[in-house]
Amino acid sequence: MKKQSKFVAGGVLLAGVVGYLMVTGMKDSMTYFLTPVELHQRVSANPAFAEQSGVRVGGRVVPGSVHFDQKTLDLRFTLVDIETGKTSFPVHYNGPLPDTFQEGRDVVVEGNYRPGGTFQASNVLTKCGSRYEAAESDFKGKQS
């Protein structure tokens, strides 16, 4: 009987260690998933929020706002809220242009919102194509 309880203790220990790793790991890598409007609300409610690392913002790339320097790989564009089309802010990113990145596309930027008002992105994600479903409207333009 005593042995069984030793095994239970062992199992509990393992669960505890894993639980600890999970909790601390969560703290390190939690990122809020926001829309530009929500980000704006958060920052105006609590300016310190801007310095927090780890925000993911989903929005639309404003047509005509994209500047990409092919030499330095500096990418600058404006991201706007998809639903309202109003709240927007400039984004800066350094790195290769993501493959499916385009004006008018919906993208997710990951990084920090700088007090100056620019979003410094450490990552720009485009919508993964494998899950992209064409809407009927996508074909309308091609109707001859």
Partner 1 sequence: MTQIGEVALWLALLVAGWGAALGFYGGRRGRGDLVLSAERSVYAVFGLLLTASAAIITAFLRSEFRYKYVAGYSNRELGLFYKITGLWAGQTGSLVFWALLLALFGSIVMFQNRRRNREFMPYVAGTVLTVLAFFMVVVVFASNPFQLMDFVPPDGRGLNPQLQNYWMTIHPPTLYLGFTCFTIPFAFAVSALLSGRLDTRWITTTRRWTLLAWFFLTCGIIFGMMWAYVELGWGGYWFWDPVENASLLPWLTGTAFLHSVMIQEKRGMLKMWNVLLVIGTFLLSIFATFLTRSGLIESVHSFAENTTIAYIFLGFLGTLILISAALVWWRRHAFAAENRLESFLSRETAFLVNNLVFVAAMFAVLWGTTFPLVSEGVFGQKIQVGPPFYNRVNIPLGLILLFLLGVGPVIAWRKATPRNLKRNFAGPLAAFLLVGVALRIAGITNVYALLTFALAAFSMTTIVVEFWKGTRARAKIEGEGVAPAFIHLVERNRRRYGGYVVHAGFIICFCGFAGKAFNTERQAALHPGESIVIPSAFGHSYQLTYQAMSWYPAPNMTKLVATVEVKRDGRMLGLLTPEKRAYKQREEVTSEVGIRRAWNEDLYLILAGVDRADEFMRGTNPQPVVTFKVLVNPLVPWIWLGGFIMAMGTLVALWPAAEAVRATARATAREPVPAQLPGLAGA
Stretch touching partner 1 by CB under 8 A, among 44-52, 68-76, 85-93, 113-121: 68-76
CB of 109 to partner 1, least distance (A): 11
> What character string, x for contact with partner 1 (CB under 8 A) and - otherwise, covers 20-59?
-xx-xxx-xxxxxxxx------------------x-x-x-
Q: What is the DSSP string of 37-96?
A: HHHHHHHHH-GGGGGSS-EEEEEEEPTT--EEETTTTEEEEEEE-TTTS--EEEEEEESS
Pick 7 or 48: Cβ nearer partner 1: 7
- Pairing state of beta strands 88-94 and 119-126? parallel
Instruction: Confirm or reject binding of residue 67 to partner 1 (CB under 8 A).
Output: no
Exactly one of 85, 96, 115, 117 binds partner 1 (CB under 8 A); that residue is 96
- Pairing state of beta strands 55-61 and 106-113? antiparallel
Instruction: Confirm or reject binding of residue 137 to partner 1 (CB under 8 A).
Output: no
Instruction: Confirm or reject binding of residue 85 to partner 1 (CB under 8 A).
Output: no
CB of 114 to partner 1, least distance (A): 20
Instruction: Confirm or reject binding of residue 108 to partner 1 (CB under 8 A).
Output: yes
Take residue 13 and report the two structure tokens written for it. Answer: 């220990």
Exactly one of 83, 85, 115, 117 binds partner 1 (CB under 8 A); that residue is 83
Buried b / exposed e over 6-39, threshold 16 CB at 10 Å, is eeeeeeeeeeeeeeeeeeeeeeeeeeeebbbbbb
Instruction: Confirm or reject binding of residue 15 to partner 1 (CB under 8 A).
Output: yes
- Residue indicated by tokens 């600890």: 20
